[in-house]
Chain A
Amino acid sequence: EDQVTQSPEALRLQEGESSSLNCSYTVSGLRGLFWYRQDPGKGPEFLFTLYSAGEEKEKERLKATLTKKESFLHITAPKPEDSATYLCAVQPLTSGANSKLTFGKGITLSVRP
Chain B
Amino acid sequence: DAGVIQSPRHEVTEMGQEVTLRCKPISGHNSLFWYRQTMMRGLELLIYFNNNVPIDDSGMPEDRFSAKMPNASFSTLKIQPSEPRDSAVYFCASSALAEQYFGPGTRLTVT
Interface residues of A (CB under 8 A from B): 31-32, 34, 36, 42-46, 49, 87, 91, 96-106
Contacts and interface: CB of A to CB of B under 8 A. Distances in A.
Contacts of A97: 97-98
Contact of B101 (A42, A46, A96): A46
- Summarize B's interface: helix, strand, loop or mixed: strand
Contact of A103 (B4, B43, B96): B43
Shortest beta-carbon contacts, A-B, top 5: A43-B102, A98-B31, A105-B42, A103-B43, A44-B102
Interface stretch (B48-56, B60-68, B72-80): B48-56
Contact of B48 (A34, A42, A100, A105): A100
A100 B55 CA distance: 10
- Size bin of chain B's contact surface: 20 to 34
A41 B63 CA distance: 28
A43 B45 contact: no
A87 B43 contact: yes
A98 B30 contact: yes
B31 to A, nearest CB: 4
B87 to A, nearest CB: 16
B105 A42 contact: yes
Given A42-B105, A91-B98, A100 B45 contact: yes
Nearest to B94: A98
Contacts of A49: 98-99
Nearest to A4: B42
A106 B33 contact: no
Given A100-B33, A104-B42, A43 B98 contact: no
26 contacts: A31-B98, A32-B98, A34-B99, A36-B102, A42-B105, A43-B4, A43-B103, A43-B105, A44-B43, A44-B91, A45-B102, A46-B99, A46-B100, A49-B99, A87-B43, A96-B50, A98-B98, A99-B31, A99-B48, A99-B50, A99-B55, A100-B45, A101-B100, A102-B45, A103-B44, A106-B42
